[in-house]
Amino acid sequence: MGSEEVKLLGAWASPFVHRVEWALKLKGIVYEDVEENLFNKSPLLLKYNPIHTKVPVLLHAGKSISESLVIIEYIDETWKQNPILPEDPFERANARFWAKFVDEEFMEAIRQALISEGEQQEKEVKQAIEALEIIEGELKSKQKFFGGEKIGFVDIVLGWVTAWLEVVEEVAGIKVFDSQKFPSFNNWMENFVETPIIKDKLPSRDKLVLYFHKIREFSLASPTIK
């Protein structure tokens, strides 16, 4: 690898990968996109993320970084233009708190709802709705974005909902979002998808539906994968 070359090991259907792509676009970083097949992982992925063998992996200056939140912080610390995290320590802590909340309380419940059924799935849907109520409460006091007038850390972390949530609802036969019940969240989604760097980097809905049907069927058939 050239000393400053940037490569991203990704997968088109992964919301975690899209976070990193959005962060790179926001910074105006040119990178090479290396598409992984998650059903048949490449030697490159096994080499650069041997512990989790998951995408995304960022390769930069001969080094590799894994875990989407960790990668976004790396990008923000390496390229200073268009800051993703705020400058003030308390605001930074707040952004990290909400990013963690989104991942652990909301996204994980949606992921589990996708690959479960019956009582287990109902429990996950309930958890997701409760998390969304808390996010709605937080968004009420915000301007356009969590990051204020511009997209920031929490916006990037939560951004998957704009393309993936409806797809998971359809594939898993569940209902989590309701624009009447979550008006601030609805506004936030509209603002998010209207942002040029985002609009250009959202996957096709139809392709996602097919792909997530496959994930759901595969997971229900082999429950130990969860």
User: Quick check: 63 binds its own copies (CB under 8 A)?
Assistant: yes
Q: Which one of residues 74, 86, 202, 220 is an interface residue with its own copies (CB under 8 A)?
A: 74
Nearest-CA neighbor of 172 among 206, 216, 128, 127?
A: 216
195-207 as b/e: b if 16+ CB within 10 A: beebeeebbeeee
93 is a site residue for its own copies (CB under 8 A): yes
Closer to its own copies by Cβ: residue 22 or 211: 22
* Measured CA angle at 33 (ends 212, 66), to 5 deg: 75
Which residues inside 8-37 make contact with its own copies, applying CB under 8 A?
A: none
Residue closer to its own copies (CB basis): 65 or 139 = 65
| Alpha helices (H) along 14-165 | 15-27, 43-48, 68-78, 89-101, 108-114, 118-139, 153-158
Shortest Å, Cβ 213 to its own copies: 28
Q: Which residue lies nearer to its own copies by CB, 104 or 190?
A: 104
Is 101 one of the binding residues for its own copies (CB under 8 A)? yes
DSSP symbol at 95: H
Q: Which is nearer to its own copies, 78 or 187 (CB)?
A: 78
133-152 positions binding its own copies, by CB under 8 A: 134
Determine the size of the site formed for its own copies (CB under 8 A).
Answer: 23
The correct pick among 22, 56, 59, 66 for binding its own copies (CB under 8 A) is 66
Min dist. Cβ of residue 121 to its own copies (A): 16
> Please, are residues 57 and 91 in contact by the beta-carbon 8 Å criterion?
no
